[in-house]
Amino acid sequence: MEGMMDKAMLDDIIRRLLEGKGGKQVQLSEGEIRQLCVNARQIFLSQPTLLEIKAPIRICGDIHGQYQDLLRLFEYGGYPPSANYLFLGDYVDRGRQSLETICLLLAYKIRHPDKIYLMRGNHEDAKINRIYGFYDECKRRFNVRLWKIFTDCFNCFPVAALIDEKILCMHGGLSPELEHLGQIKEIQRPTEIPDSGLLCDLLWSDPDARVGQIVIEVVEDGYEFFAKRKLVTIFSAPNYGGEFDNAGALLSVDESLVCSFEILKPVLPASTSKLILKKPPKAGKI
C-alpha cells in the first residue's frame, strides 16, 4: 500500500491547481496524479458507502470538467476547509478540464477528508467516460495507464449520503429495489456500475416530471423541485458544454437543515473570472 502524501506536497499541488485560472492547463506530473488517485482510494474505502454527514454543508451537482466554474463555486462558497462540501458526482467528461477538476477535488479530499465528500456519478464509470471525453483527455495529456488508475479510484467512491439523518443525497435517484438504507451500506467496493439494480438506479434514475419525453438532463435554473418540494435536483455546471444557457446552483444546508440556493449565472468565455451570482429566496427544509 502506498504511503499517504504529506501535507506540504498536497498544499503545493492545491496551490498550483488554484493558479490555473482562465482556462490554463495545470502541469501536474503523472506520478503526482497517480499518488492522488491511490491516496484518495484508500480514504474512500475507509469511509462508508453511505456517508453520514453533519450540517452545515454545501452541496454541488454535476461539474463535468468545467474547471473554471468549479473555481467560481469555491470563490463564492469558500475554499476547504473554511466550508464543508458534498459533491454529488459527474466530475469528468464533456468539459475541457476534467483532469484539473478531479485532481483538485481529490487533493482536497486527501488534505481535508472530513471537510469534503465526493460521491460517485454515472460518469465515474469506465464504460461512460471511455466515450464522453475523459479517456481521450487522459490519453492526450498523459496515457491510457493513468485513465485506468482513475478507474480504480472511481470504483471506490461512496454512492449516497445522509445529512443529519434527514436529507438523503445521491447522484441519480431512488430505486424500486431500495427498501431500507442498510441496503446501500451493504454495497461492496471496489465495484463497477452494473446495468441494472440498486446501484445502477442510485446513479442513473434522475427524477423528471416529463415522463415519456426525450429530455436532456440540464436544469435551466441550476435546481428544480419535484414531489411537492420534498425532492430537489442540483446542477452546478453553468452554460453546460458551451451549448446551454443554463445557470448552475450551489445548495447550502445550515445547522437547522434550512436550505438555500446560490446561483451561478453563465458568463462569456472572455470573462470567466467574473463572478455573477444571485440569491433566490430560501427554499425551506427538504
Measured CA to CA, the distance from residue 264 to residue 230 in angstroms comes to: 23
How many Cβ atoms are within 10 Å of 143's Cβ, its own excluded? 11
Among 125, 215, 227, 109, smallest CA distance to 171 is for: 125
Q: Is the C-alpha dihedral spanning 70, 71, 72, 73 positive or negative?
A: positive
The separation between CA 80 and the C-alpha centre of its own chain, rounded to angstroms, equals 15
User: Do 266 and 246 meet the contact criterion of CB atoms below 8 Å apart?
Assistant: yes
C-alpha cell at 236: 452546478
Measured CA to CA, the distance from residue 124 to residue 103 in angstroms comes to: 13
Among 264, 267, 229, 230, smallest CA distance to 247 is for: 264
How many Cβ atoms are within 10 Å of 71's Cβ, its own excluded? 22
Q: Return the pLDDT at 219.
A: 76
C-alpha cell at 57: 454543508
Q: Return the pLDDT at 280.
A: 42
Measured CA to CA, the distance from residue 249 to residue 225 in angstroms comes to: 13
Per-residue pLDDT of the chain (286 residues; tens, 9 = 90+): 457 899 999 999 999 999 998 888 999 999 999 999 999 999 999 999 999 999 999 999 999 999 999 999 999 999 999 999 999 999 999 999 999 999 999 999 999 999 999 999 999 999 999 999 999 999 999 999 999 999 999 999 999 999 999 999 999 999 999 999 999 999 999 999 999 999 999 999 876 655 444 344 567 889 998 888 889 999 999 988 888 889 999 999 999 999 999 999 987 655 444 444 444 444 443 4
Q: Is the C-alpha dihedral spanning 75, 107, 147, 235 positive or negative?
A: negative
Could you report how far apart the first and last alpha carbons of the chain are, in Å? 41
Give the gyration radius of the chain's Cα atoms: 18
The yes-or-no answer on residue 123 being catalytic is yes
Among 286, 234, 241, 282, smallest CA distance to 62 is for: 234
Measured CA to CA, the distance from residue 248 to residue 264 in angstroms comes to: 5
What structural domains does the chain harbor? 28-278 (3.60.21.10)
Sheet holding 167-169, edge to edge: 50-53, 160-163, 167-169
Among 143, 123, 150, 120, smallest CA distance to 66 is for: 123
Measured CA to CA, the distance from residue 247 to residue 221 in angstroms comes to: 5
User: Do 286 and 231 meet the contact criterion of CB atoms below 8 Å apart?
Assistant: yes
Which residues touch 212 (CB under 8 Å, ≥6 apart)?
none
Q: Return the pLDDT at 217.
A: 57
277 SS3 class? strand
Point out the catalytic residue in the list 64, 112, 123, 180. 123
| Residue 193 per-residue DSSP state | P
